[in-house]
Amino acid sequence: GSFYNVTGYSLIVGLSSGSDTLSGQAYGAAAYGQLGAVLQRAVALCWAASVPLCVLWVNAGPVLAAAHDIADKAARYLRLVAPTIFVSGLAQCVQRYLLAQRVVAPGTIATALTACLCPLYNYLLIYRWQLGLDGAAAAFFVSNFTYALLLVVYTAWRDARMAAAKDPRCTWPGLSARTALSGWGVYLRYGAPAAAMVCAEWWVFELVILFAGTLATADVAVAVMGIAFHVTALAYMIPMGVGQAVNTTIANALGAGAPERAAATFRAGLAMVGVTQAVLSTSLFVLRAPVVAAFTDAPPVIALAASTMPAVCATVVADGMNSLLTGVLRGCGRQAWGAWLNLIGYWCIGFPLSLLLGFTFKMTTVGFWTALCIASSTQALIMMAVIFRIDWGKEVERAQSLVANDMAGSGAGSECEGSQHGSPDKAAGGHTGRRDSLQQQLRRHSGARRSLQHHEAGTADVMQSAAADVVGRHDIEATL
């Protein structure tokens, strides 16, 4: 599971998040047909990246040969779950396509249904039909396929209904190989650093667990690290949901030419996550004994976990703030800033410091989490200082330029028939390929967009639903 996540899933999650900027800003600018073009491009890129990953997993036997007792089984499991990466890539892209439009309830429902079906899949494939490890791999694939299928079916139905009704907000221009295979350079300008941003954080946590297994009391240390990661993962769900909502709202606001709304969204998200994580961290610290006891009854593990929990509780605040702040950066299209900050925070500070404290100073898991806390806190402070210095007016200009360039590079195939009927200015202007003309169109549509009051409301609902969605997705992963 860890090998799959580190070498594959983390890359696809990061790469697909490039659409957070492109789709969110295009929707705010009323360039509705562009969202469908970005979706096709994102899926094509994620699938293209998945091919070498599958080749790696199919030939992963020698890589895993260090542990001969489980190498064959692990390699077989990877070969069986390899097709899942294509399904996961599709689901990630469709999910972000909907979130850019502030459509979150279907994702939450799909997550809940899949979570309910996961135990059934595991029971049937592993125990009832006695497929063992092969059944576990099949259950993992079927669970991911179920989630992706539910999202795709709903999205196809919604887009078809909007197109038939000539809805001006129609976002699907029709499936086109030309659209899917064009504009990769623009997408990768945001998708590549987004992938680097996700991987820089994800990989260092996985690596720390690996090093915990080399300690003298490896079994106790790994157990404590597992408890700590379960606690931080649960605490991460709320800021992750708020961060996604803030990302969508800021991207929409910048595309719509509303810098004040973007700045206000950042401040509201900052206050919400700050208060929530502070209360959660304090509660975990006060209740650390029963929390640890809920995971284990082994005295050595309880003793080490009790001394590690203060650092874990402090990390909860910093980690939550980072989730929010990276959401702000994605909404602004500043993934490159996040990638560099994650690289510096986790790899130049966090990882070396964790080795120093954990091994040299013999602080074991306490040292690991103290280092991660210092790295996360330093990163959050720097990122916050950077974002407070953002000129939101210039970000609006940058967003309009980005959408114009992306529209020019997509060609006529990105124009949605429904949006043509609802936007006379855009239909008359067409896609001339000239950047200035496209920017003028975007300014006109942004003005019209801001007059639609039902698009100005509902930020709290987006945050609430997105938080529920990520909590449900965590339940699926825990069940698997």
Would the pLDDT of 465 be above 90? no
Q: What is the DSSP string of 126-150?
A: IIIS--HHHHHHHHHHHHHHHHHHH
If you average pLDDT over residues 102-121, what whole number do you get? 97
40-70 pLDDT per residue, tens: 999 999 999 999 999 999 888 776 665 555 6
If you average pLDDT over residues 236-257, what whole number do you get? 97
Name the band, by pLDDT with cuts 50, 70 and 90, for residue 284: very high
What tokens does 438 get? 């496209």
301-323 pLDDT per residue, tens: 999 999 999 999 999 999 999 99
259-275 pLDDT per residue, tens: 999 999 999 999 999 99
Would the pLDDT of 456 be above 80? no
Q: What is the DSSP string of 342-368?
A: HIIIIIIIIHHHHHIIIIIS--HHHHH
pLDDT given at position 212 = 95
pLDDT given at position 470 = 41
Q: What percentage of residues in the chain have a pLDDT greater than 90? A: 79
User: Do the Cβ atoms of 342 and 175 come closer than 8 Å?
Assistant: no
pLDDT given at position 429 = 37
The gap from C-alpha 385 to its chain's centroid, in whole angstroms, comes to 23
pLDDT given at position 63 = 67
Q: Tokens 């001339």 label which residue?
A: 432
Local structure of 172: helix, strand or coil = coil
Query: Shortest CA distance to 257 belongs to which of 409, 400, 91?
Result: 400
What tokens does 73 get? 């089984």
- Residue 286 CA to residue 265 CA, distance in Å, equals 32
169-180 pLDDT per residue, tens: 999 999 999 999
Q: By mean pLDDT, which of 143-147, 334-338, 427-431 is the weakest?
A: 427-431
pLDDT given at position 26 = 97
Q: By mean pLDDT, which of 83-87, 212-216, 305-309, 434-438 is the weakest?
A: 434-438
Q: By mean pLDDT, which of 116-125, 289-298, 406-415, 437-446 is the weakest?
A: 437-446
Q: What is the dihedral of CA 96, 97, 98, 101, to 10 degrees?
A: 110
Q: What is the mean pLDDT of the chain?
A: 87
Q: What percentage of residues in the chain have a pLDDT greater than 70? A: 83
* Residue 65: count of CB within 10 angstroms of its CB: 12
pLDDT given at position 226 = 94
Name the band, by pLDDT with cuts 50, 70 and 90, for residue 411: low
Q: By mean pLDDT, which of 68-82, 290-304, 434-448 is the weakest?
A: 434-448
* Residue 391: count of CB within 10 angstroms of its CB: 10
pLDDT given at position 66 = 54
Would the pLDDT of 32 be above 80? yes
Would the pLDDT of 293 be above 50? yes
User: Do the Cβ atoms of 302 and 293 come closer than 8 Å?
Assistant: yes
pLDDT given at position 410 = 66
- Residue 377 CA to residue 375 CA, distance in Å, equals 6
- Residue 314 CA to residue 325 CA, distance in Å, equals 17
pLDDT given at position 480 = 40
pTM recorded for the entire structure: 0.86
Name the band, by pLDDT with cuts 50, 70 and 90, for residue 432: very low
pLDDT given at position 2 = 80
Question: Between residues 69 and 216, which one has the greater pLDDT?
Answer: 216
- Residue spans of the domains in the chain: they are 1-182+420-480, 192-390
Q: What is the dihedral of CA 231, 77, 195, 202, to 10 degrees?
A: 30
Helices (H), 333-458: 335-342, 351-355, 364-388, 392-410, 417-422, 424-429, 435-450
Would the pLDDT of 363 be above 60? yes
